[in-house]
Amino acid sequence: MPTKFQFQIDETIRKNRLDSFVADEITAVSKMFLRNAIKKGDCKVNGKTELRGGYHLKESDTVEIEIDLQATTAMTPEDIRLDIVFEDEELIVVNKPAGMLVHPTLGQKSGTLLNALAFYLNSHRLSAVNNQYKQNLEIQNLKSKTQMIRPGLVHRLDRETSGLMVIAKTKRAHSILSEHFQRRLIEKEYLALVCGNIENDAGVINTPIGRFEEKKCWGVKENGKPAETLYRVKERLFDTTLVSLAPVTGRTNQLRIHCNYLGHPIIGDKLYGGREFSRLCLHAAKLSFWHPKGGEKITFESQIYF
């Protein structure tokens, strides 16, 4: 049964977009879910159906929206074990296991890192919130008790890649960390076990990456976007090399494509020429960034044994 929420707009939130305002107030479901609800005609402003998410709210506007809180959304909480490396009031750093999607897709709605984080960050709120929602109370009576923490993605890892990720817990942290990623202030280092012995001890792979629409895959492409990866050999084994990879740019599948281009595909990488293995031997082993609160630079490291 849909739950009806009602809001009265005051002077502090004038000129705010309708979809952004509703997403800030009803944090138990995803932004996309709420945008779609508006498009479907489930939202009214001053008693009239409003289909425009970009409608700018004015002082004294009344907003009503009906939401089916039982519907599965990208933020459906699931009790999935997390490997937590660090946490404070602004952010959380976790070790993502190989084989786990970072966020839900059209083909998979559950079992992702975001599902797990939505549960972990809000587990102490969930039972009380659900009970209140069932009573169909007005939002003014619930606002202070239903604010859920929405995990904010600032970067991603491939499903097959394991390792360190930082996720924002507040809007402020999300904004600052996102800007730092765009400005390349975040330092990332990966460990990869690749096929064969790399001759040079260190080097730079600098070749463009683009998407081949006919094959629906990414690869080295002459007119692609610039992509640069630094590599350093850590250990040469019988017929493999353990190598450290530092991406300067952040193109799709960059490390996998560049290792294959070098002639040493990552073991377990079936898409880019690697020999078969139980997993993709690529791990985000080191992550350094400036903390959004206070500006202190912090570094995390994660061990892996392929």
Please identify every residue annotated as catalytic.
Answer: 158
Greatest alpha-carbon span in the chain:
73
Ordered DSSP codes for 191-218: EEEEES--SSSEEEEE--EEEETTTTEE
Per the rule left: phi > 0, alpha: psi between -120 and 50, beta: everything else, 196 is left
* Residue 101 and residue 45 in contact, taking contact as beta carbons nearer than 8 Å: no
Comparing CA positions, the residue from 111, 106, 42, 37 lying closest to residue 76 is: 111
Residue 91, CA distances (Å) to 97, 158, 292 in order: 19, 21, 9
Residue 14 phi, psi (nearest 5): -65, 150
